[in-house]
Structure formats: C-alpha cells, structure tokens
C-alpha cells in the first residue's frame, strides 16, 4: 500500500515540477481593481492616435458630455464633425449619445525579442481602470453642402453670425447665371469633374433621430376630403378634415346650481344620429333600468348587465347618453340621471345621494408620509398595506381558507356592514343595507325642504352621522376583513343624540333664507370634497366625449 502511494506522489511531482507548491499556480492571481475611472468614445472611423479625435470634437464638449448630470445644464450628447472643427460652418454634426457601460481599460505591452529566423515577443497585460460611461455614434452623417466661400450666400451667413445689421439690410439675391456648371477637380472622387455654380444656402439640420420617418406623402385614413366655401375669395375649395374623433357623444353634464326643472329631456342630435347602429334589445334594457330607478352610479348600473353587455356598453359610448345625463357636482355628482328627472327638485331622491371617501391609510411608504421615529422593520402580523394590490391578495387568501364568500361584481356597489366586494368607499344611500346605518338614512322626518350642495336633502348633523357610521364600519372591514360590530359607532350616535351639531343645522337654514341660492357654502366644511373631481373615476366611471 505504501509503494502505491509513493508512486502516485512521485508522478504528481513530475507533473507539477520540482516545487511542491506549484499546484496553487493553476488559479488566476488575485489583483485589486484600480480606482481610476475613464471615459470611452467609440469613434466611427480610422484613428491613428487618441489625440486625433480633438480634430473633430472639442475638448470642452467632451468634458461637458461626461460631466453632465440630471440637474446640470449640459446634455450627455457629443457632436462630431468629419470635416474638422475649422471647416464646420456649413456642416451638420453627427450626434453621439452617452450611455452607461461596464468595461475595463486594458493595457497590452509587447516586448520584442529578435531571433535568427523571426521576431518573437512577450506580451503583458495590465488593468488601468473601469469605463462606466461610453459615447456611441449610431446615426448616419447628415446631408452636406458647401457654398462658394466668396459667394453672396457665404457673405450673408457671415453677416448673420456677426450681427452686421447694415449688411443684412443691404443684401439682395443676385440673378441666376445661364451656366450652372464649371470644371473642377475633386481630390476625393476623380470621377466628379464638374462643380455647380448655383450659390444655394446650406441645408438645415434635418433630424436628430437615427432614422427619419417614412411619411410616403399619404394622408391618414381618418382624413376625409370635404368642400367648404372660402369667404375671402368667394369660391368653393376642398380641405381635409380629421374624422377620427366625434364631439358630442358623451352624456350631457349639468351642474348642481341649475334652475330647478331645467334639465335635459332628450339626447343630443349627435347621439340621435347613432341610434340606428345600437342594439335595440340592449338599449331597451338600459331604458327600463332608468324607469325602475332614475339615478344610478355607473358601476352599479353596469352590475345589472352581463359581462358581454358591459363590454358593449363600454365600447360604444353612445348607449348611456341615449337614456341619461350626468350630474357633475353636488350630492349627486358623477351620477347618471334619467332624462326629464331633476333629483334636486324631488325630495324622494334623498336615497339616491352619493357618499364617498378615501381610506385614510398609507398604503405605500414614501419619504413624505413615513415617520422618522418609526422602526424600519415591521412587527409580525403588522401592517399589511405596504404594496399596491394587497387588499385583493388578502381577499383571495380568505376565500381559499373559507373565511369569506367569493367576490361578487354584482354586489360591489352594496354595503351591508359585513363584507366588501370592492376596495372603494363610494356608495349611493339606497345601496347601504346595514340596519344601523339604514335606520338614519330613512329618517325622512328630518329631511330638509331644499337640496343643498354639500349635504343634499339631509341636515348637516344627520349627514355627518351617516358619513361617520359608513366610514367607521368600512375602515374596520377594510383593515380586519371581518364584519364590523355596531358598538364601534356608539360614540357618533351619542354625539348626534346629544344635539351637539344642531347649531350647524340652524346656520345652514339661515344661509338659505339669506339668499345664498347659488348652492355654495361660504365657510366650507369637511364635506367640500364632494366638489372635487374623483381622481379614482378615471377607470370605469370616466366620461369621454369621443367616438367608438
């Protein structure tokens, strides 16, 4: 056994050499990367020496390009002129863009050793530093034109550069000569034996794009030829009109402070002209729903249709304007209303009022809303609202665990105080079925005789109570994913029963009797957010006045 070990060890020694530590030489040597930083310019042409690039690019431009930042005035663009910096008056530069790179600058040194038959050399390499920024030229050279340096065009250009006011005023275009060519030897191309005598101005910079657009000199498909009468010349002419967008297809918008009863009673002529292209069955179903209920929110109305019907209603914008107009402000803001019905003049429309709020929860941590005293690490079972879409993911987990019923799109507009089917605090009062809240919603004896801009048919104290009840229960369900108990709302009910806010009701009545009939609250209160545009209505609830 020992003889075999000795033979194997001697064999390894013969392979590695006499030195027993040669086995470590098979690994690459460890070297530190130099901290020197270099800039790289990929010159699109032959270059004899790095300093030759200064013939086509200014050193100051190179410095500004590599030192440019997002806050500096310089741009990471480098302009190169093939003809040289001295003869660049009538030449458009080639633009190169600075891009990030991950390269190393390697220096190769060759030491020559003269032998009898041939030259032999020893090569050594050394890393000098990193190249984090590189300027690359990917565009072609632009059109070039060189006018006669002694011609009138060159004199005009020089006058403009020097701002010679008198020379510019005295300039006049000379008459053209009969001969346009003259013999000329071209050192770059001997085949070109003539030169143009037309003294034209130099061509402008056509584009900074890498490739120009191919227009093909064709009109777009949505442009239609249309005759029109020119009053200046008293003749008929033809012009192209863009028919891609048709104005007037969206619902008619009505403000809250309109004259009572002065509401639209039929669609516009643009909508009437499109009735023939609409589905009769779908249109009848839509009108029947407005006979059943004169005021709808868009997503609660669409919940009564099938998936295919909802897609058709969203695709063809003319369906909704055929049956309803839209209230843009007030307690019925963003609600679709049946033609001829004025919710501001009918006291029974109190149940159709809209109430909405934004959950006062920081769903994303930003430097603005993060407390510097808070710990960076979250405790176990802590805040689950860090990332967007957390609520939907949580509901899917609860559905898989059997802790809540599946999400129902047809019940997204209903608030029952138990489960949410939509992550949005936006409801009509008639869709709130929670017994505690519905008790105060249907307290018709407290309703007012005039619909106000802020609270509708409700006095401020009762409206504030309803709002607090909905917000409290909604936030509890939103955070804890379980039905909200009525005990959470005891503090608001006690404040309302104590008559703490009855003074607000008296003040509002005084303002109405005092002639503030424009529907505006002079002092304003927390309910003024109903005047604001609902920023989350850019999805299904967005009203567009365009064609399909």
DSSP of 121-184, one letter per residue?
EEEEEEEEEEEEEEEE--SPPPP-----TTSHHHHHHHHHHHT-HHHHHH--PPPPPS--EEE-
Percent of the chain with pLDDT over 90: 21
Least confident of 199-203, 463-467, 543-547: 543-547
pLDDT confidence bin for 40, thresholds 50/70/90: very high
354 phi/psi in degrees, rounded to 5: -105, 140
Share of the chain above pLDDT 70, in %: 72
**544/251 Cα distance (integer angstroms):** 8
CB-based contacts of 247, cutoff 8 Å, min separation 6: 270, 545, 546
CA distance 250 to 235: 36
Query: CB under 8 Å to 500, separation ≥6 — which residues?
Result: 461
For 241-255, 438-452, 498-512, which range has the lowest pLDDT when averaged over its residues? Answer: 498-512
Residue 112 is inside which H or E element, if any?
A: strand 94-114
pTM for the whole thing?
0.49
Q: Is the pLDDT of residue 20 over 50?
A: no
Assign 332 a pLDDT band (cuts: 50, 70, 90).
Answer: very high
The crossing angle, in degrees rounded to 10, of helices 307-315 and 280-292 is: 100
CA–CA dist 243, 224 (Å, integer): 7
Confidence of residue 276 (pLDDT cuts 50, 70, 90): confident
What residues form DSSP beta bridges with 426?
356
3-state DSSP assignment of residue 1: coil
The two structure tokens encoding residue 358? 């934004």
* pLDDT number for residue 521: 38
Give the separation between CA 72 and CA 64, rounded to whole angstroms: 10
Tokens 């607000």 appear where?
504
Which of 523, 331, 344 shows the shortest CA–CA distance to 441?
331
How crowded is residue 152: how many other Cβ atoms within 10 Å of its Cβ? 15
Q: Please classify residue 178 by burial: count the beta carbons closer than 10 Å to its beta carbon, then call 0-12 exposed, 13-18 middle and 19+ buried.
A: exposed
- CA dist 145 and 494 (Å) reads 87
């Amino acid at each position: 056994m020992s003889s075999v070990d000795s033979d194997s060890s001697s064999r390894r020694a013969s392979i590695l050499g006499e030195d027993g530590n040669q086995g470590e030489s098979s690994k690459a040597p460890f070297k530190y990367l130099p901290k020197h930083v270099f800039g790289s310019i990929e010159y699109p042409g032959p270059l004899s020496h790095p300093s030759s690039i200064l013939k086509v690019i200014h050193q100051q431009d190179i410095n500004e390009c590599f030192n440019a930042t997002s806050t500096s005035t310089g741009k990471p663009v480098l302009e190169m002129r093939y003809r040289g910096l001295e003869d660049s008056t009538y030449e458009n530069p080639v633009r190169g863009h600075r891009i990030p790179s991950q390269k190393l600058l390697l220096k190769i040194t060759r030491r020559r050793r003269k032998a009898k038959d041939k030259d032999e050399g020893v090569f050594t390499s050394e890393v000098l530093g990193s190249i984090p920024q590189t300027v690359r030229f990917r565009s072609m050279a632009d059109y070039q034109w060189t006018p006669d340096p002694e011609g009138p065009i060159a004199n005009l250009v020089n006058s403009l550069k020097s701002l010679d006011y008198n020379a510019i005023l005295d300039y006049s275009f000379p008459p053209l000569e009969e001969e346009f060519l003259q013999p000329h030897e071209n050192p770059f191309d001997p085949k070109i034996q003539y030169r143009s005598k037309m003294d034209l101005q130099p061509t402008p910079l056509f584009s900074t794009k890498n490739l120009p657009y191919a227009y093909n000199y064709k009109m777009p498909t949505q442009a239609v030829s249309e005759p029109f009468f020119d009053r200046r010349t008293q003749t008929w002419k033809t012009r192209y009109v863009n028919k891609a967008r048709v104005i007037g297809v969206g619902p008619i918008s009505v403000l809250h402070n309109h004259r009572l009863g002065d509401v639209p009673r039929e669609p516009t002529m643009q909508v009437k002209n499109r009735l023939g292209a609409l589905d009769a069955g779908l249109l009848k179903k839509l009108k029947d729903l407005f006979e059943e209920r004169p005021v709808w929110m868009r997503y609660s109305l669409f919940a009564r249709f099938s998936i295919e019907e909802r897609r058709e209603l969203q695709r063809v914008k003319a369906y909704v304007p055929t049956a309803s107009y839209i209230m843009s402000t007030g307690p019925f803001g963003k609600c679709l209303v049946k033609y001829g019905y004025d919710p501001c003049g009918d006291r029974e429309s109190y149940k159709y009022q809209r109430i909405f709020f934004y959950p006062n929860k920081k769903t994303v941590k930003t430097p603005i809303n993060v407390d510097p005293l808070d710990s960076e690490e979250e405790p176990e079972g802590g805040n689950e609202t860090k990332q967007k879409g957390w609520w939907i993911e949580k509901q899917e987990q609860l559905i898989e665990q059997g802790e809540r019923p599946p999400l129902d799109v047809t019940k997204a507009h209903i608030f029952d105080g138990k489960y949410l089917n939509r992550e949005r605090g936006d409801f009509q009062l008639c869709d709130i079925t929670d017994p505690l809240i519905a008790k105060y919603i249907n307290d018709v004896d407290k309703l007012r005789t005039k619909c106000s801009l802020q609270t509708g048919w409700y006095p401020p104290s009762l409206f504030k109570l309803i709002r607090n009840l909905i917000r409290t229960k909604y936030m509890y369900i939103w955070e804890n994913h379980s039905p909200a108990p009525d005990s959470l709302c005891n503090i608001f009910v006690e404040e309302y029963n104590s008559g703490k806010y009855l003074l607000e009701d008296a003040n509002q009545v005084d303002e109405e009797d005092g002639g503030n009939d424009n529907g505006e609250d002079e002092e304003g209160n927390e309910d003024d957010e109903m005047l604001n545009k609902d920023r989350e209505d850019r999805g299904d609830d967005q009203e567009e006045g365009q064609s399909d």
